[in-house]
Amino acid sequence: MLKESKGRTILFFAVLIVSVVVLSSISVDIWGDAPETLPSDRELIFLDSMTIKEFGEANQLSNAVLKEVFGLTSPEGLQGSLSGTDIPAETLSAEVNKALVLEAENASKNWKKIAIKFVLWIVYLGVAFFLLKKRKITPVMRTGLLLGAVALFGVILGADPSPMGTVKDAVVLFGHTKVIFPPRLIAFSIMLIGGILVANKFICAWGCQFGTLQDLIFRLNRDSGDRRGILPQVKVPFSVSNSIRIVFFALMTLSAFLWATDLIDPIDPFKIFKPLVLGIGTGLFIAALLVASLFVYRPWCHFFCPFGLAGWLVEKISVYRIHVDYKTCIACDACSKACPSTVMEAILKRNRTIPDCFSCGTCMGVCPTQSISFKAGKRQIPPAGKFKD
């Protein structure tokens, strides 16, 4: 029976990955998303005798770019003299290149799909929030919710936008061009406030396409009660995983600012949802991450994700999060043993830094006295002597 369970785990894992890759390829082809490429800095043709319109034609600039650069309020402004703008050539070059970057960023976005995705995120996270708060999430329902998130936000709606992209792309773009793309900043704020601050790590737990894929794979390698692994599973100390994540974030930022390099792009795991752009190196890295997800809970989130790091900092002040009622807790440790990571041990005993909590509800489902809840408020401190080493 044990060998059968291990065989099923491996089979389900293989079927899941093949399905994601094949169906994502079809989905990308249907949506026809434009590639995201930044324009190179231009050497502008600049003559004082030019009108603004002639300047635009000579440098192949759209009227939208000219409007942004020169602050035009009407079409007649295009006939104005370039010399009359009193903009130094160096400043003009910088402003044009900035406008071209913003135009390219805007053109690469499928705004209809992005709007649909954000609306569905709000609905989906709302459902998950209700179910978790009401203690309705069972192991089977958890698997179903994770599978639904992978299918909806990853396979159907694609790799972008993603929580990770709001941080990584913003850092890389600013490091390369010193430009901030306002819609990305808005998306980051919405995810951080709505998906982390209001409800602890909710966007990562139930909405992130790659986060939920890792979580789903981890659950495939669990018994029917979602308490332990069928194949051995390991809980990496948070001091190790978070140290690596901090160093990786620092390297990502330095590479963007010093060398205008995107450190994550060659290993971007979200590319599994646009497999036609996968190279051999990226594919091998993603494969390794997915296999690791059978044995380690959300390895990308814990070891590498820049949004995960930002979310871990913000979740310290989340409104809704996991709480323990020590009046009814019998100190059986069932919650910390079943928890996929070391976080429940830290929440329960308050004896160390609390790691990322993905509000998965596993601890609530296994508690024999229903002493664990998902609610607002400040966490209690365990009474002295409650837990013995």
User: What's the pLDDT tens digit per position in 152-198?
Assistant: 999 999 999 999 999 999 999 999 899 999 999 999 999 999 999 99
The tally of domains found in the chain comes to 3
What domain range is 251 assigned to? 2-35+111-313
The answer to whether residues 92 and 202 belong to one domain is no
User: What's the pLDDT tens digit per position in 268-303?
Assistant: 999 999 998 899 999 999 999 999 999 999 999 999
CA-wise closest residue to 298 among 314, 312, 284: 312
Amino acid at 264: I
CA-wise closest residue to 313 among 123, 170, 159, 167: 167
Domain harbouring 352, CATH code: 3.30.70.20
The answer to whether residues 181 and 280 belong to one domain is yes
User: What pLDDT is attached to residue 4?
Assistant: 58
Give 87's contacts (C-beta < 8 A, 6+ positions apart): 70, 95
CA-wise closest residue to 259 among 171, 362, 380: 171
The answer to whether residues 135 and 235 belong to one domain is yes
Using the predicted structure, report yes or no on whether residue 254 has a pLDDT greater than 60: yes
The answer to whether residues 248 and 347 belong to one domain is no
- In a domain, residue 219? The reply is yes
The answer to whether residues 79 and 185 belong to one domain is no
Give how far Cα 89 sits from Cα of 38, 44, 85, 99, 336, Å: 22, 9, 11, 15, 63
Mean confidence (pLDDT) of the chain: 94
Asked if 192 contacts 314 with a C-beta cutoff of 8 angstroms, the reply is yes
37-46, 98-107, 162-171, 327-336: lowest mean pLDDT where?
37-46
Phi, psi of 373 (to 5 degrees): -140, 165
- In a domain, residue 389? The reply is no
The answer to whether residues 234 and 181 belong to one domain is yes
- In a domain, residue 292? The reply is yes
Higher pLDDT, 386 or 132: 132
User: What pLDDT is attached to residue 3?
Assistant: 54
User: What's the pLDDT tens digit per position in 44-72?
Assistant: 888 888 999 999 999 999 999 999 999 99
- In a domain, residue 383? The reply is no
- DSSP letter assigned to residue 155: I
Q: How many CA atoms lie within 13 A of 205 on its CB side?
A: 27
What's this model's pTM, rounded to 2 decimal places? 0.93
- In a domain, residue 161? The reply is yes
Give 282's contacts (C-beta < 8 A, 6+ positions apart): 266, 267, 268, 271
